[in-house]
Amino acid sequence: MDPRVKRLDPYRLEIPSNYKPGMNGRVIVYADEALARDIEAGALEQAANTATLPGLAGPALAMPDIHSGYGFPIGGVAAFCARDGVISPGGVGYDINCGVRLLASSLEAKSAAKSLEDLAHKLYAGIPAGVGAGGGLRLNRREQDAPLIEGAAWAVSQGLGRPEDLAHAESGGALPGADPRAISNRAMERGRGQLGTLGSGNHFLEVQEVTDIYDEAAARAYGLFKGQLTVMLHTGSRGFGHQVCTDSIEAMRAAAGRYAIPLADPQLAAAPFRSTEGQLYFGAMQAAANYAWANRQALTGLTREIFEKAFGMGEAKLDLRLVYDVAHNIAKLEEHELDGKKVNLIVHRKGATRAFGPGHPDLPADYAAVGQPVIIPGDMGRCSYLLAGTARAMRETFGSACHGAGRLMSRGEATRRARGRRIADELAAKGVWVRASGRETLSEEMPEAYKDVENVVGVMAGAGIAKKVARLRPLAVIKG
Amino acid sequence: MSFRITTATGDAGITAEAATPGCLLADLAAGFSALTCGGAIEERTARNISLKAESPESLAVNFLNELVFLADTEGFIAAAASVSASFKPGACELTAALLGETLAFERHQRGLLVKAATYHGLKIERAGGLWRAAIVLDI
């Protein structure tokens, strides 16, 4: 590691503000000695680049699952003053409001053990996933605005959820500033048939078991118990959000020139938040975020139907309840305290999860005492975690934490290392049923391709940014 | 045809080299088809693309994003691309005639779902009488 990167304590590193020309502040990287060894030099460079954008508030941040992205690193957080700072599509990513939701059933995993293989087949058949997957909800152009404005509530209105789901989604599953007029026809066309589809790559639907509870009070508030059968769902705004980002990068590259914003990397293209270009992107991004919430809600409806059929139980008895839904690729207008003053900031979380602490007014009443659930998927062979946000996160990270395990290997390296192995059989031997549609998906997504989420979560807990609530073990995984 | 699939940490890329800008872009199109479905596409239907951009880099990104759009909205993948292109500074342009077909998974493999072509580490350069391109795709 570059000798200018200084260790502050066992969980934090500092990239000083003189690390490269044009930085407007320092970068704090959350990593212990072991994780720090795996951080690519390019990812640290990208974290430093984010600090060159105008209007940076406090330090830029990198979470322990950091790896190289475009513009911002994955695992990057940067907040900019709403008054005179910027907004950057590179700080959000192509999959706008990619996120995770966790559902908890009334069942014990051991009582479902015999049905797991059948359930995996039914989920694979019933959840549209992968390249070219059909089966999504097909809306005409006139109908398309409603999910962009209403988000998850739109899917609930279509019978794909319960009204009480909305309180357990970040921002209630919809951002209020969505502007469908800021959306191109191409984005509308890409989004038309993709609501209610999982996608590909690292997106998944996973049936899990709660194996450990670390914080009884928080677990009780979240409705979790040891041995419980849960479902985790990871997807985003699909082609709709990808096109919104593609359109915006082109527009922002031109805007950055007009506003004389120096770009350390073309993917950091940005415009002042208060500018016409900045507001257009913010309106379009919020519409894409709402599309993603509608998508995860629609998949929740499908999942509940499949579970009810697979277990022969009614909705009330199965009670597949939404624990929470988090966004981990997003820019949000939030109020934070900085140097003793309350300020409005555009907080960019790219591969980072909101982690608001106890008492925050944006939390649902039933979680207010314990903090926001922070859902951290691991890999399909080891485990995932449910954490809770802390007061320290509010003071130190703009209420943000990591978003997953973080990739350790490229897709190519993972595929090479998996050659000659039968990943599905290896996982089945560990009691994990896996179904994937892509020819290389299982190799590219094999557990060793990721950092061990235990270490990533350990850094967040050690640093006091989030506390461990529960550990979840995969039982059945559906991938695109 | 000369392209190579490369990998970034979570994503994939294409490198290509060719004697002319048009052949270079055609090679990038072939790389995109290989990534998306492993090839084996037949020349059944035609699509045409015309684009202008300020730089060769923007032209290449926009061209691949057109292919992403066709794949995402129609399932169309090109088996062959005949591209005529000029990399004149400040006034780059291309016209591409694509022959291909709609993905049908009883005949085609499911490859990677490409979200977008990016400017990350993007290079278009001329060296030793050849045009070379390196482009990263978000997966």
Mean pLDDT of chain B, nearest integer: 93
Of A68, A71, A249, the CB nearest to B9: A68
Say if CB B109 and CB B41 are below 8 A apart: no
Instruction: Indicate yes or no: CB of B111 within 8 angstroms of CB of A245.
Output: no
CA distance B125 to chain A (A): 17
CATH assignment at residue A321: 3.90.1860.10
Question: Each residue of B36-71: pLDDT tens digit?
Answer: 887 689 999 999 999 999 999 999 999 999 999 999
> How much of chain B exceeds pLDDT 70, in percent?
97
CA distance B38 to chain A (A): 9
A121-127: average pLDDT:
94
Say if CB B138 and CB B68 are below 8 A apart: no
Of B37, B113, B122, the CB nearest to A480: B113
Our answer to whether residue A403 is catalytic in this structure is yes
**Residue A232 has which token pair?**
């985790």
Q: What is the pTM of this model?
A: 0.96
Would residue A442 count as lying in a domain? yes
> How much of chain A exceeds pLDDT 70, in percent?
100
Say if CB A453 and CB A376 are below 8 A apart: yes
Q: Does A257 touch chain B (CB under 8 A)?
A: no
A19 contacts: CB under 8 Å, gap ≥ 6: A2, A4, A5, A27, A48
Structural domain of A72? 6-479
The secondary structure element, H or E, covering residue A234 is strand A228-235
Instruction: Indicate yes or no: CB of B75 within 8 angstroms of CB of A132.
Output: yes
Would residue A1 count as lying in a domain? no
Among B69, B54, B59, smallest CA distance to B24 is for B59
Per-residue DSSP letters for A114-135? GGHHHHHHHHHHHS--STT---
Instruction: Indicate yes or no: CB of A242 within 8 angstroms of CB of B116.
Output: yes
pLDDT value, residue B19: 96
Q: Which of B120, B123, B139 to mutate to test the interface with A (most CBs of A within 10 A)?
A: B120
Q: Which residues of A touch B36 (CB under 8 A)?
A: 131
Q: pLDDT band at residue A450, thresholds of 50, 70 and 90?
A: very high
Among A127, A175, A145, smallest CA distance to A293 is for A175
H helix intervals, A180-235? 185-191, 216-222
Instruction: Indicate yes or no: CB of B36 within 8 angstroms of CB of A131.
Output: yes
**Residue A224 has which token pair?**
């979790």
CA torsion sign for A195, A198, A201, A202 is positive
Give the end-to-end CA distance of chain A in Å, rounded to a whole number: 36
Q: Which of A18-27, B11-20, B100-109 has the lowest average pLDDT?
A: B100-109
Question: Each residue of A457-471: pLDDT tens digit?
Answer: 999 999 999 999 999
A440 contacts: CB under 8 Å, gap ≥ 6: A411, A415, B111, B112
Spell out where A312-360 has E strands: 321-327, 329-338, 341-350, 353-354
Q: Which of B4, B6, B14, B72 to mutate to test the interface with A (most CBs of A within 10 A)?
A: B72
CATH number of B3-138: 3.55.10.10
pLDDT value, residue B1: 66
Instruction: Indicate yes or no: CB of B115 within 8 angstroms of CB of A239.
Output: yes
Q: What is the ipTM of this complex?
A: 0.92
Q: What is the largest CA-CA distance in chain A?
A: 63
More confident residue, B6 or A27: A27
From A201, which residue of chain B is nearest by alpha-carbon distance? Answer: B139
Mean pLDDT of chain A, nearest integer: 95
Written in H, E and C, the secondary structure of A130-151 is: CCCCCCCECCCCCCCHHHHHHC
Residue A108 has pLDDT above 80, yes or no: yes
Would residue A306 count as lying in a domain? yes
A420-439: average pLDDT:
90
Of A70, A130, A266, the CB nearest to B138: A70
Domain ranges for chain B, please list them: 3-138
Question: Each residue of A74-97: pLDDT tens digit?
Answer: 999 999 999 999 999 999 999 999
pLDDT value, residue A411: 85
Question: Each residue of A143-201: pLDDT tens digit?
Answer: 999 999 999 999 999 999 999 999 999 999 999 999 999 999 999 999 998 999 999 88
Q: Which of A44, A67, A70, A195 to mutate to test the interface with B (most CBs of B within 10 A)?
A: A70
A94-123: average pLDDT:
94
Instruction: Indicate yes or no: CB of A412 within 8 angstroms of CB of B5.
Output: yes
d(CA A435, CA A438): 10
For chain A, positions 135-194, list CB contacts with chain B under 8 A. 186, 189-190, 192
Residue A260 has pLDDT above 90, yes or no: yes
DSSP state of A357: -
Kindly list the distances between the CA atom of residue A155 and the CA atoms of A148, A150, A159, A166, A302, in Å, as whole numbers in the listed order. 11, 9, 7, 10, 11
Q: How many residues does chain A have?
A: 480
pLDDT value, residue A72: 95
From A236, which residue of chain B is nearest by alpha-carbon distance? Answer: B115
Question: Each residue of A304-360: pLDDT tens digit?
Answer: 999 999 999 999 999 999 999 999 999 999 999 999 999 999 999 999 999 999 999
A370-390: average pLDDT:
97
Instruction: Indicate yes or no: CB of A267 within 8 angstroms of CB of B110.
Output: no
Residue A45 has pLDDT above 80, yes or no: yes
**Number of folded domains that form chain A:** 1
**Residue A411 has which token pair?**
């897709």
pLDDT value, residue A323: 98
pLDDT value, residue A191: 94
A128-133: average pLDDT:
79
